[in-house]
């Protein structure tokens, strides 16, 4: 879903840092070989994630929902020396393409893959996070949030992706549409939670930035 005209999107992209070669290659391979390539982070949102990460200078990043590794590689660009990015995906068929591109990048040794259900894996990660990127099963967003909020460093940032859900958050709600219902509750919860300060950015499909107080 495009919220902006093609002309504006093209103009915004051309006024933004170029997409690194390795990410262009990963996008091409994802479209050729993997189902549902629509899920991949694109050029513009990828540069937003990269820049946010460089501003935060994270030691530890957690990503929930790796897919083919595009957003992980963007977030890893901001890691401090010796920092780590932990990324979780339930689909084990994706792990070889992820590893291939992680190892082609400069961050291979800093990226740790976890295969399984995020809600089972998060409690086993004994560390504090500077950035968490929530981008797996939309119906589980409130549970991911509860699982990570007490693992955040003060001043850390939780990023939640696809929170506009192709605009469904403002369309009449279909009672059978559980994902939209939960995303509506989730967005409200982020706004009202006194532990964080939240801004929903209209980046691509909606990217919420929540600063942990």
**Which of residues 59 and 63 has its CB atom nearest to Ca ion in the complex?**
63
Q: Which does 89 bind (CB under 5 to 8 A by kind): ligand SAH, Ca ion, none?
A: ligand SAH
Asked if 41 touches ligand SAH (CB under 6 A), the answer is yes
Q: Nearest-CB residue to Ca ion?
A: 161
- Three-state DSSP at 4 gives coil
**Cα–Cα distance list, 95 to 35, 88, 129, 196 (Å):** 14, 10, 23, 33
x/- map, 73-92, ligand SAH, by CB under 6 A? ---------------xxxx-
Tell me the window of 92-100, 114-122, 132-140, 165-173 that interacts with Ca ion (CB under 5 A).
132-140
Q: How far is CA 145 from the centre of its chain?
A: 13
The verdict on 89 binding Ca ion (CB under 5 A) reads no
Residues 109-138 that bind ligand SAH (CB under 6 A): 117-118, 135-137
* Position 200 contacts ligand SAH (CB under 6 A): no
Site string for ligand SAH, 153-192 (x = CB under 6 A): ----------------------------------------
169 Cβ neighbours under 8 A, 6+ residues apart? 163, 180, 183, 184, 187, 206
CB 50 within 8 A of CB 78: yes
Beta bridge partners of 145: none
**What are 76's two structure tokens?**
């890893």
In whole angstroms, the minimum distance from the beta carbon of 40 to ligand SAH comes to 4
Q: What residues between 151 and 190 interact with Ca ion by CB under 5 A?
A: 161-162
Q: Is 84 in the site for Ca ion (CB under 5 A)?
A: no
Q: H/E element holding 153?
A: strand 152-161
Question: Out of 19, 23, 27, 40, which residue is the one contacting ligand SAH (CB under 6 A)?
Answer: 40
Question: Residue 60 or 71: which CB sits closer to ligand SAH?
Answer: 71
Angle value at C-alpha 86, between 199 and 125, nearest 5 degrees: 95
Please enumerate in sequence order all residues whose Cβ is within 8 A of that of 156, keeping only pairs 6 or more positions apart, or say none: 56, 58, 128, 129, 130, 131, 132, 211, 212
């Amino acid at each position: 879903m495009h919220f902006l005209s093609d002309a504006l999107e093209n103009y915004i992209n051309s006024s933004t840092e170029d997409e690194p070669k390795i990410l262009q290659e990963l996008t091409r391979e994802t479209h050729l070989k993997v189902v549902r390539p629509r899920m991949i982070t694109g050029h513009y949102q990828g540069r937003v994630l990269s820049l946010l990460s460089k501003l935060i200078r994270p030691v530890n990043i957690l990503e929930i929902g790796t897919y083919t590794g595009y957003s992980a590689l963007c977030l890893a660009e901001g890691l401090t020396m010796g920092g780590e990015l932990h990324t979780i995906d339930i689909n084990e068929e994706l792990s070889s393409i992820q590893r291939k591109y992680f190892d082609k990048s400069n961050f291979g040794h800093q990226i740790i893959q976890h295969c399984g259900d995020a809600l089972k894996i998060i409690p086993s990660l004994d560390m504090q996070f500077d950035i968490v990127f929530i981008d797996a099963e939309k119906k589980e967003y409130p549970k991911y949030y509860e699982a990570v909020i007490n693992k955040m460093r003060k001043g850390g940032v939780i990023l939640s992706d696809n929170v506009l859900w192709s605009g469904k958050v403002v369309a009449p709600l279909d009672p059978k549409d559980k994902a939209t219902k939960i995303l509506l509750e989730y967005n409200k919860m982020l706004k009202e939670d006194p532990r964080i300060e939240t801004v929903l950015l209209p980046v691509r499909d909606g990217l919420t930035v929540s600063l942990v107080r």
